[in-house]
Structure 1
Amino acid sequence: MASGKLSPRQKMINLMYLIFIAMLAMQMSKEVLSAFGYMNEKLTENNVTTSAKNAATLQNLSTKAQEQPEKYASLFTVAKKVDELSKNFNNYLADKKEFFLSKVDDPTNYETMDNANIVNEYFFKGDKFTAEGQEFLDQINNYRNAIVKLLGDNNPLTKNVNKRFDTSDQDTEDGKQPWLKNRYEGFPLISTITNLTSLQTDIVTTQSEIYGSLLGGQLESDVSMSNYKTILIPEKSAFFQGENFKGKIVLGRYDASLKPSEVVVNGKNITKLEDGGAILDFPAGAVGEREIKGKFVFIENGKPVEIPISSSYAVIPKPNSAVISADKMNVVYRGVPNPMTISIPGIPDNLVKAKGIGLNKVSGSGKYVMTPKSGREVKISVSGKLPNGQTITTSQNFRIKDIPSPRGSVRKEMGYVKMPKTTLAKVTVGAELPDFDFDLKLKTSGFTVKVPGQSAVVVKGNRMSAQALKAISKAKRGDVIAIFDIKSSLVGNNSYKIKNAAAVSIEIQ
């Protein structure tokens, strides 16, 4: 363009062309400088927003560590250490930016921040680094190594951190070049400011990823299927033969680190916890359906969260003896109260109803008394209401028998008795019910005495009359005196007629 013989006019045109190109280059350089400045502004705004989110996440972890220390305390310790390392490194970078910006008149006029000497003189001395340059590298490397140590080599985030804060030598067309020279030597000041802000972005991004990994890892552990077990929930606590079993199987998570702040069951605080559950141990209570009411209380975000407890269980009578029934011995006796126990297994006494002619309930669970009336048989019907509301009914027939005939006695002796006639004159004539299951008292109202060779004497009451004594006085040794037609009645029940007692014979000695 400047070679050869040119006219003055052409030389002027060429000179103007060169000036025009130089002006274009200068204009492009200013646009690039402004672009770096605008990028720095965007990165700074993003860092402020991300830092605020990180602070909120860290506070959330702190709260959870207080509420559920077994689960979150160790995670918060890691997060707190990451926060401390990040703040120190971030503050160091902020100080460097402030130092470099103090070298310019207007930090917002990016088109004037094209000087590379400020950074070159600060970081480099010939082919080597200044103390400040080496410190800058050490700050990056120390932060990276400390974070990697916290995460561990097998953590998926470790690769990102190593790449993000890599300061190894860089490949160029002329071979390997130190990272610091490759990124900062000869670049305009605004480029360095933007690079420092970008490092701050890498810091807050690293924080965000680690916090998210800590919370996400715990959440993943919480919802992992390996933590779940099957739980059978029956529709009710007891089923009867012939019924269909109804219920459902659900998945429940057993978590020993999940500890409520309070557990209340039936008005009492439960303090024994195991695998995240409250251990219950209290008297089952009376027979019947019993409710379990209460609540689990957890602290979440500083506020109590209540989870209600509402369930029930059935208490059935505890068997303490075998049930043995003689099928042919369903007998009740007329004239006496026959005690009975009536119950239906699995149904509380207050839901059992029994009825029959002469049947009455007395105090005591399942206790009744049967006093038979006329006839030879009585039917007892029993009904009960199951927990599902269904009513079952059953019945049993009992034969009615009279009280057996008593046996006559003297001196409580029956049958054939030997005694002197002087003793006989003083005895009381009675009626006994040997081998009878009921403890009945009989009162003798009269009898007849027959002495051999004498007329029979009818006596009222239970002791010998004067006429009977006169007849007995004529008896001889070896005579057998018969006492028969012994009449008696039940003490306390004169309406029932007892059969005459069997005779008793007395041999005079």
Structure 2
Amino acid sequence: MAIKKRPVSPRQKMINLLYVVLMAMLALNVSTEVLNGFSLVEESIGRTTSNAAKENQVIYDNFVEQLKANPAKVKAWFDKAQEVKRISDSLYNFADELKFAIVREADGDDADVKNIRAKEDLEAANQVMLAPGRGKGAALYKAINSFRERILMMVPDSAQREIISNNLSTQIPKTALTMGRNWQEYMFEDMPVAAAVTLLSKLQSDVRYAEGEVLHRLVANIDMKDIRVNSLNAFVIPNSQTVVRGDKFSAHIVMAAVDTTQQPDIYIGNRKMELRNGLYETVCGRTGDFTLAGFIEVFNGSGERIRRDFSQKYTVVDPTATVSADLMNMLYAGYSNPISVSVPGVPLNKVQATMSGGTLQPVGPGRYIARPAAVGKDVTITVTSTNTGRVQQMGQFTFRVRKLPDPTAFISVKDEHGNPDRYKGGALLKSRLMAAEGIGAAIDDGILDISFRVLSFETKFYDNMGNAVPMISDGARFSERQRSTFRKLSRNKSFYISGVTVVGPDGIQRKLTSSMEVTVK
């Protein structure tokens, strides 16, 4: 049998609702011992934050001292440190203002953050951080995110980046997100004053920690406390250890590692030198072996003076150069004569050459093509060097100029192995003669190998009566009449090739006076 429920009066519904509210308030009530525990944590965090701030201030003070000692080196890092201080102080002070605002909301105008009376107050944090239109929670959320991103850009170490990122995280549990709560509501809604102040103090501590990590990284970049090398020595770096008489000996005198923003004191022969960028130069008027010796002094980051001795030997020689014609001891007019140019102790890319009486074309390091303009007129090749930064003449060389000699005519044949060969007279197999297309001409004396173009030639055959029968070629090729006569020649029969007209690479046409006797085998 069903039981009929008794109707509940409006008065009873109100009493039931008030009871539920009372139970909720009792459940949310925080004990005095827990609230006092927050005070202890707040004091501990405060001491940690104070110590971190003092350590950071020592680094800031060192930056100021180093900036005075070496502005060129420290200025860029000092500016970055000041930027870190600015953004760190901005977030730190904002958190400080919020702490005071929450305590004042709970305790009144005479509030003291270090002596909170209404520690259990659950409304003060709500009013300051979450009140519609004037709550500061959203602004704090944006400030933390902005600070975290800017600080992480200055921290390359992945482990330190992870620590800072976790300390300054604004992520909240997924359960809070599903309930529609944002970061500021999750952190400060119904939060007792003591707990809210402790959370903001923890944020201040994280800010000072991140600030300190970046400052230590900036200090490492300028070697504030020491010169971070395991060995310091003075070095002389000469432009060249071999110097031509009359030229300059140039050398950089440095201490390794080199600091381009600090001018060291350099002494040569116990005399202090005023050298621009450490560059030492002296004119070398005598040949022989010499030594550049002295010492160099420089300050390290802590202001200590460091001295290192240096010594460098160098040799002064007379101006000299070498110019050689690659294929001959003279130059030929109208011909591309290969020339090699060098200077002992000087790189080829620092050597240049010019020629009078013709053209001199560079074709590679130390390699030229010389083309004299006229036969019988000497040419002069002048060699210069830029090894020490200025042009210095190293020598002049004169060559006689002559016309190319006459070439020797030959028949282009192939030997028994099928390789090209130049037949210049004597016995010749009839089969090789018939396989040849014509004749060529070249200067081929073991030193030169210069081809000439054959314009024409003639062959002379003798009949049974001893009469000469001349036949004209088809340019450089045998004519059909000549080839027909070759077929009819009997063994040991001879004929002559003469009247060879050629033109060489110099453009000069000439007729060879010598003739070639060919005996058919």
> For the superposition of Structure 1 and Structure 2, which TM-score range results when normalised by the shorter chain?
0.3 to 0.5
TM-score by length of 2: 0.43
